[in-house]
Amino acid sequence: MKKAVWNGKVIAESDQTKVIEGNYYFPPESVRQEYLKETDYHTTCPWKGKASYYNIVVDGDVNRNAAWYYPEPNKAASEIKGYVAFWNGVKVE
C-alpha cells in the first residue's frame, strides 16, 4: 500500500498505483480531492501528452502545482488517464 503524504496528511492511498519514470500514479478514486485545487498550470510530455496540475492545500498551507495528472493522455500513456502523481515535497511511502 502506497501513501502520498504532505504536511502530515495522507493525500492519496492505494495498492493499485502505477509506476512510470519513477513516479507513482494513484488511481483517481484513491486521492482525497478535498486537498486538491485545480490550477491553470500545464506541461507537455512528448509521449504522455498534456498534464494538468493541482495545488495541494492542507490546513491553510499551499504546495503549488505539487500534483499532476493527464486528463486526456496520448495513446501510449492511456493506462494513467486521470491518475494523480506527486512531487515538490510530497512523500510517497
pLDDT digits (tens, 9 = 90+) for 6-62: 999 999 999 999 999 999 999 999 999 999 999 999 999 999 999 999 999 999 999
Q: What is the pLDDT of residue 19?
A: 97
> In this structure, how many other beta carbons lie within 10 angstroms of the beta carbon of residue 64?
13
Residue 15 is placed in which grid cell?
Answer: 495498492
Q: What is the pLDDT of residue 93?
A: 96
Q: What is the pLDDT of residue 50?
A: 98
Q: What is the pLDDT of residue 8?
A: 97
Q: What is the pLDDT of residue 27?
A: 98
Q: Which amino acid is residue 69, in one-letter code?
A: Y
Strand order in the sheet with 36-45: 36-45, 49-58, 61-69, 84-86
Q: What is the pLDDT of residue 77?
A: 96
Predicted TM-score of the model (pTM)? 0.96
Q: What is the pLDDT of residue 70?
A: 98
Residue 71: phi and psi, rounded to 5, are: -65, -35
